A = this chain, B = another copy of it.
């Protein structure tokens, strides 16, 4: 693509470095912004810069936070003794959107994946073990990807905690609600048969 202006080209380049945004989409976004009020574009640009400068991470659970400790960790309404272990912040937002979970979180920042050079020391695992040792935590609920890497991570953490009396669970996997059996993949269907459960626990509360 040949651009009639260097400023346009650098703005398009800036946008196209974002994940999933190609040069054509980037051009569309920049041309859209050029049509907006100058004050609005200024506000857009400042919001982005401020997010990067001012957003902090909770020192307890590593969730995104406006303060040193996040609102979930400090809330008196949340059960501090249950900790849901997730890979990233998107998972927290997904679980929060269900409005069915009233415990706290711990964000690992990924899963153990030796092939990608991610070992336990690259993740927030030591912090989690420390949180457990500091007491008060009764249950860890793992909500990691159902992959070898996710399973390895659960196994590793479980091993490290084998001397405690912690209850360690994972979220249920199975055929989705509204999912048709014939379209479910074999692994999911097989696991959901293995992990079948009494009908009286199944009803949604």
Residue positions of A touching B, CB distance < 8 A: 1-8, 10-11, 14-15, 17-21, 25, 27-34, 36, 38, 41-55, 63-66, 70-72, 88-90, 92-93, 96-97
Contact = CB atoms under 8 A, between A and B. Distances in A.
A19 B28 CA distance: 8
8 contacts: A4-B89, A4-B93, A8-B55, A18-B29, A19-B32, A20-B25, A41-B49, A44-B48
B20 A33 contact: no
Contact of A66 (B7, B11, B30, B52): B7
- Minimum-distance CB pairs A-B, first 6: A11-B51, A41-B52, A45-B49, A45-B45, A14-B47, A2-B96
B34 A1 contact: no
B11 A47 contact: yes
A86 to B, nearest CB: 12
Contact of A2 (B44, B47, B53, B93): B93
Nearest to A12: B51
Nearest to A44: B14
Contacts of A90: 27-28, 31
A155 to B, nearest CB: 27
Given A11-B51, A44-B14, A1 B64 contact: no
A96 B1 CA distance: 8
B14 A20 contact: no
